[in-house]
């Protein structure tokens, strides 16, 4: 994948290989389609180091839930999607001891497309303090899981790496599972606010394999970590690079020429810019509500689980 093209979605990395129908070694792809609700679920499993290198993502399971209607304001759609997310969350959390969960809402509450994490946390049903106050009987009677949550803010607001903050909190409060919610960058505008990615590999702000200093994962936190992300922006450099590439291919340029030109974009000022839709406020509000409902049904209210 081109260095100008940034995506946090494993599925898009997988798609970026020309050999669409060829098996990449160490990478498994399976698909599910809920026709009635128009929800497509792709599972990418990166099984070994080879696959990890090819995909430039850590080994683990990446579940992508594509729900094209999610960007529309249809209330009837909210429940089936929330159920679908909960179903795959349970699957991923399966072997993990999910009795005590800490939900971390990453991102900047003051930048609309980055406010997904904080808004999910705002809608969560938090129970840990209730269970500690009223005891286990209360917990079992109400079928509650123990949920705590925090929106730490971003480094420009706190002066601290998020991993420093969360590591400290995890050590003190000892959750069995950390769920990290974050707004992602995708490559394609079509995926914005219509896709949910779940993974058991955690999250690397700034991304890329190897940069473990900032990663929130089992290695850094000492706890199982599930990351749940929704692409809400496309990097401006990516959108320009993709448009150019598409044009240059059509015009018969060869790969080397394309690469050379596109790499110049990197130097430009658009590198700290992102692209997002004009109605991003409505999308973030709707999706964060859907996700927090999924989390509530999975962890706070373990009805018939």
CB 221 within 8 A of CB 167: yes
Query: Which of 208, 259, 266 lies closest to 235 in space, CA to CA?
Result: 266
Total chain residues near its own copies (CB under 8 A): 61
Among 22, 156, 303, 304, binds its own copies (CB under 8 A): 156
Pairing assessment for the beta strands 60-66 and 195-199 based on DSSP bridges: antiparallel
Site string for its own copies, 63-92 (x = CB under 8 A): ----------x-------------------
Nearest distance, CB of residue 284 and its own copies, angstroms = 9
CB of 190 to its own copies, least distance (A): 6
The answer to whether 273 contacts its own copies (rule: CB under 8 A) is yes
- Count CA atoms within 13 Å of residue 152 on its CB side: 22
24 binds its own copies (CB under 8 A): no
Q: Which of 44, 147, 179, 196 binds its own copies (CB under 8 A)?
A: 147
How far is the CA of 192 from the CAs of 22, 80, 83, 231, 294, in angstroms? Answer: 27, 19, 20, 5, 20
Q: Does 214 bind its own copies (CB under 8 A)?
A: no
Distances (CA, A) of 136 to 115, 128, 133, 300: 34, 11, 9, 14
Ranges of beta strands (E only) in 48-131 are 60-66, 100-105
Stretch that binds its own copies, among 11-19, 91-99, 153-161, 215-223 (CB under 8 A): 153-161
Q: With 0-12 CB in 10 A as exposed, 13-18 as middle and 19+ as buried, what is 210?
A: exposed
Strands of the sheet with 177-185, listed across from one edge: 27-34, 39-46, 60-66, 195-199, 224-235, 177-185, 100-105, 146-150
2, 15, 83, 161: residue in contact with its own copies (rule CB under 8 A): 161
Judged by CB under 8 A, which of 178, 179, 239, 291 binds its own copies? 239
Among 28, 32, 219, 281, binds its own copies (CB under 8 A): 281
Please say which residue, 28 or 110, places its beta carbon nearer to its own copies. Answer: 110
For its own copies, the binding residue among 24, 45, 111, 209 (CB under 8 A) is: 111
> Residue 41 or 241: which CB sits closer to its own copies?
241
52, 64, 151, 217: which one binds its own copies (CB under 8 A): 151
Residues numbered 184 to 213 that lie near its own copies (CB under 8 A) are 189-190
Is 52 an interacting residue with respect to its own copies (CB under 8 A)? no
In residues, how long is the chain? 305
Nearer to its own copies, 59 or 192 (CB): 192
Determine which residue in the list 1, 29, 45, 265 makes contact with its own copies, applying CB under 8 A. Answer: 265
Identify the burial level of 188 via C-beta atoms within 10 angstroms of its C-beta, where 0-12 means exposed, 13-18 middle and 19 or more buried: middle
Rg (CA), the chain: 20
Task: Note the maximum CA span of the chain.
Answer: 71
- E strand or H helix at 128: helix 128-141
Q: Does 136 bind its own copies (CB under 8 A)?
A: no
Residues engaged in binding its own copies (CB under 8 A): 73, 108, 110-112, 121-122, 125-130, 146-153, 155-161, 164-165, 167-173, 189-190, 234, 236, 239-240, 243-244, 247, 261, 265, 269-270, 272-282
């Amino acid at each position: 994948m081109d260095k100008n093209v940034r995506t946090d979605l494993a599925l898009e990395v997988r798609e970026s290989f020309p050999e669409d129908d060829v098996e990449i070694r160490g990478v498994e792809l399976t698909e599910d389609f809920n026709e009635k609700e128009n929800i497509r679920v792709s599972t990418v499993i990166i099984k070994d180091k080879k696959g990890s290198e090819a995909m430039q993502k850590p080994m683990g399971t990446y579940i992508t839930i594509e729900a094209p209607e999610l960007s529309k304001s249809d209330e009837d759609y909210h429940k089936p999607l929330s159920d679908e997310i909960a179903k795959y969350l349970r699957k991923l959390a399966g072997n993990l001891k999910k009795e005590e969960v800490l939900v971390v809402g990453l991102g900047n509450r003051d930048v609309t497309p980055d406010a997904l994490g904080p808004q999910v946390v705002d809608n969560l049903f938090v129970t840990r303090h209730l269970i500690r106050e009223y005891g286990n009987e209360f917990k079992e009677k109400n079928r509650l899981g123990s949920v705590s949550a925090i929106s730490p803010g971003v480094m420009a607001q706190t002066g601290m790496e998020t991993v420093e903050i969360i590591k400290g909190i995890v050590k003190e409060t000892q959750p069995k599972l950390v769920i990290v919610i974050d707004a992602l960058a995708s490559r394609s505008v079509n995926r914005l606010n219509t896709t949910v990615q779940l993974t058991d590999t955690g999250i690397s702000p700034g991304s890329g394999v190897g940069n473990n200093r900032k990663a929130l994962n089992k290695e850094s936190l000492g706890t199982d970590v599930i990351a749940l992300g929704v692409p809400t922006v496309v990097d401006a450099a990516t959108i320009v690079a993709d448009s150019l590439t598409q044009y240059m291919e059509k015009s018969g340029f060869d790969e080397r020429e394309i690469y050379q030109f596109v790499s110049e974009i990197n130097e430009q000022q658009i590198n700290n810019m992102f692209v997002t839709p004009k109605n991003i406020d409505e999308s973030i509000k709707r999706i964060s509500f859907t996700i927090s409902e999924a989390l509530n049904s999975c962890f706070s209210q373990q009805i018939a689980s």
